[in-house]
Amino acid sequence: MIKREAYMSRIRPFIGDELIKVLTGIRRSGKSVMLELIQNELTAQGVLSSQFIKLNFEDMRNVRLCTAEALHREISQRISSIKGKAYLFFDEIQEVIGWEKCVNSFRVEFDCDIYITGSNAKLLSGELATYLAGRYVEFIIYPFSFGEFLDLYTSIFPKGGKQEAFTRYLTLGGMPYLGNLRYEETPSQIYLQDLFNSIVLKDIVKRNKVREADLLERIIAYIFGSVGTTFSAGSISKYFKSENRVAAPETIMNYINYCLDAFLLYQVRRQDLQGKKLLAINEKYYVADHGIREAVFGGNMKEINLILENIVYMELLRRGYKVTVGKAGSQEIDFICEKKREKLYVQVAYLLASEETIRREFGVYESIRDNFPKYVLSLDEFDMSREGIKHFNIREFLLMSDFN
């Protein structure tokens, strides 16, 4: 079990606190394991396992508890026999109808510490979530970073180095369960295909009552194939029209939003650096796990420049940065990253193989006069830093403890 200290260090200050700890993220990204790690931490602090109440609402044995009233009765009964503080762990809480009411009631009624997980970004944005306003703290759990992947990979293959691990990471991605399959290609791809189908069926089609599942899959395929490129719902609609398929931009945007809510995709807005404003059209989209893209769509190594960009983007999210795409005149900067008072710029390329490529990748920073860090990342092994702009090998950048 990878300790996932990057998340534990953020969660740890809230352990034992009255705030409800909410762990969200794409299905199978490791939220349940995070609950186990929290339980291990509590046990190390002297909390007895008899003080834990654990329920997974995707377990058929708990179907009877999937209403607020039934869950409240069950927990009230169980908690009455616990001496001292109770620790409540609810996995995939969105399966419980009206869960916000009973969770808030537990917080008010009992001496308890509450942890919940869910696979939907709208978990805390509904009308009922007003019950919890200001009373929770949220942590998004992502698939493995390259650093976490490397730790697990080298524990399975002690002779495997960073380069070998990164090559495997490019095609398999960071879903934690793949370690159980020893990162074998065929079983891993079958698992990822099944995971994708589960996300589409349970977290998108079923939850949002999608009527045109075929259209949804076409939209996802289009976005998977266009990772890191700018487009709009209107441009997808025109593309479908050329394929003799009619789909209104509004419907396409709704379906994209369902994918965002399920954490399958991430949308990145564009920012005009000269006008200092967000642009309203032509966003970019990235996939939560590039291994799912390979298993479903294929072509990760063929389109490695897009996949490297996807990997870097997800790493920036893991580090807590708010990320936009920068537009400076006719040029575009891959990522503008902001966090509290920190800011940095990141440009991603596959290889800086020619002087023209080097001029293009470094030249995008010419109009930016501030002193925040500016990076050009590629798979080149030699340092090509120049004029205050730092160049790093992407593998090494992903393993850095601090980007600023």
What are the tens digits of pLDDT across the range 218-270? 999 999 999 999 999 999 999 999 999 999 999 999 999 999 999 999 999 98
pLDDT of 168 above 60: yes
What are the tens digits of pLDDT across the range 19-60? 999 999 999 999 999 999 999 999 999 999 999 999 999 999
pTM to 2 decimals?
0.95
Rg (CA), the chain: 23
pLDDT of 315 above 90: yes
**Band (398; pLDDT cuts 50, 70, 90):** very high
Pairing between β-strand 112-118 and β-strand 277-287 as defined by DSSP bridges: unpaired
**What integer best gives the mean pLDDT of the chain?**
94
Mean pLDDT across the stretch 297-306? 96
Contact 229, 303 (CB under 8 A): no
Contact 192, 173 (CB under 8 A): yes
Contact 174, 149 (CB under 8 A): yes
Helix, strand, coil tally for the chain in percent (to 5) = 50, 20, 30
Torsion of CA 227, 233, 238, 239, to 10 degrees: 20
What are the tens digits of pLDDT across the range 107-152? 999 999 999 999 999 888 876 677 888 899 999 999 999 999 999 9
